A and B are shown apart, each in its own frame.
Chain A
Amino acid sequence: MYPTDLRYTREHEWVRIGADGAAVGITDFAQSQLGDVVFVELPDVGREVKQGEVFGTIESVKAVSELFSPLSGQVIAINDGLSTHPEKVNDKPHETWMIRLRPSAAGEADALLDAAAYEALVKQQEGRSS
């Protein structure tokens, strides 16, 4: 269910670290909890964010949630396609990135969850919400 090449936050973001920077999105669990995503507000390219800092907001028909950056770094790209097709977050959450970062602090990724640990967290929260 949760790809093993991603790292996860406890706030349900994922990060995929590659040669072209660190891509950030939200997890399948997060999108299912939000419901139909209708709006994603992203930062300007060039902004510096810290690990755990709010970098944007995501809105479903019903709710608004903040997006927390999994890593510190500079925003080097945003996914413009989401302004016209925010529903991609629901359709393909683990492939739909929101921002790309150039990480600025080595080692931060170690504090994130791997797929197995994240899946355990989701199981625990699903148990609590039903």
Chain B
Amino acid sequence: MTSSLPTALKKTPLNAKHRSHGARMVEFGGWDMPVSYVGIVEEHLAVRRAAGLFDVSHMGEIEVAGRDALATLQWLTCNDVSKVAVGQAQYSALTTDRGTFIDDLLVYRLHDDHFLLVVNAGNIMKDFEWIASRARARGGDAAVVNSSSRYALLALQGPRSQEILQTLTGIDLAAIAYYHFAVGEVAGIRATVSRTGYTGEDGFEIFIPPALAARAWDAILAAGRDAGACPCGLGARDTLRLEAAMRLCGSDMDEDTSVLEAGLGWIVGWKKDNFVGAERLREQKASGLTRKLAAFEMKDRAIARHGHAVMNGATQIGMVTSGTQTPFLKKAIGFAMVPAEFAVVGSALDIDVRGRRASAEVVAEPFYKRPKGN
């Protein structure tokens, strides 16, 4: 709370807006970002009940285009990109040859031979260099461009997102299915609107030119005011995603965690041709995992946090990768990487919370699932 801001932090086009709104700012992935405006709990609940607007312009955009763009992404990402139609998006990962995470990402198919990857803020250069160097080594026709500075990205999330955004756009939002997108205008600004998010609620992510980001931000907040929409920071984004049991790359998994260990076998395109890490993932699938990410709920009154040890007697057997008290469910929950035999629903976990043992139980995912019809 007393640290001064290094001048090297990157700023989104909405930085001045956040500061003028009195947002509490923090460093995240090399960016100066709002952690909250009025309070994490209030913002979290606004998204569950009405809508919240997030500036996620720190996320990176990398474009891959050319005749061999599809083949390049089939090789470098673990999911089956051939299943993604133009106008559709897919959750996937950039994998190492050990089947572990360089990053997780969304793959948007803009045209047959043109893809947009949305990657984590702290990994933009790493991902870009990884993709570009391998595309070069493969030869073929695939241009890789880091176009992060060409996009601002807003996320409007919550059950009332569609009715709010519809007042500002001619795009028929009801016609955009989950993990699909459309191109048009929002508040008179050229935009790509995708039905995606990181909160467990219905909602949209809106790609706009950075120079017009502040105008779009104001227009959306004004349109949503009566519905109860409010600006939200990264604090609520983190508690929302965890409640929805969505993983945070860099926290729940990293270059030492395989896609299967992270519980993300569903993003592996088992039927496609070879890809980076395929061999190792197939081996792991056949022989079984030794450790796995488990969702847990605290039984004792304590909040386990990232880095806390999972114990078996005096021996550390695992580590909490995410943990918080969730504002909506009002429970202490989290993820922990534990031996596979502990990663089964009902299994008891003994967690060292700052020197005190607290018990938790492995539960089914997700912690929170939005009601049908929302």
Contacts and interface: CB of A to CB of B under 8 A. Distances in A.
Interface string B226-259: 0000000001001100000000000000000000
A128 B41 contact: no
Nearest to A60: B40
Contacts of A57: 354
A67 B301 CA distance: 18
B286 interface: no
A79 interface: no
Contacts of B324: 61-62
Contacts of B325: 38-39, 59, 61
B301 A39 contact: yes
Contacts of B238: 62
A115 B48 CA distance: 40
Interface in A37-51: 38-39, 41
A129 B2 contact: yes
Consensus secondary structure, chain A interface: mixed
Nearest to B40: A61
A125 B1 CA distance: 8
Contacts of B354: 57, 64
B303 A62 contact: no
Q: Which one of B39, B239, B302, B327 has the greatest number of beta carbons of chain A within 10 Å?
A: B39
Given A61-B324, A64-B305, A36 B2 contact: no
A33 interface: yes
A84 to B, nearest CB: 11
Contacts of B1: 33, 125, 129
A89 B327 CA distance: 16
Contacts of B239: 61
Contacts of B7: none
Q: Which one of B1, B2, B325 has the greatest number of beta carbons of chain A within 10 Å?
A: B1
B20 interface: no
B96 interface: no
B287 interface: no
Interface string A19-32: 00000000000000
Contacts of A38: 41, 303, 325
A39 B327 CA distance: 12
A90 B327 CA distance: 15
A96 to B, nearest CB: 17
Given A61-B324, A62-B235, A35 B40 contact: yes
Interface string B39-74: 111101000000000000000000000000000000
Given A35-B36, A36-B327, A125-B1, A61 B301 contact: no
Contacts of A129: 1-4
A104 interface: no
Interface of B: 1-4, 24, 35-36, 39-42, 44, 235, 238-239, 301-303, 305, 324-325, 327, 332, 354
Interface of A: 33, 35-36, 38-39, 41, 57, 59-62, 64, 83, 90, 125, 128-129
What 10 pairs across the A-B complex have the smallest Cβ distances? A38-B325, A36-B41, A61-B40, A33-B1, A36-B39, A62-B235, A128-B2, A59-B303, A36-B40, A129-B1
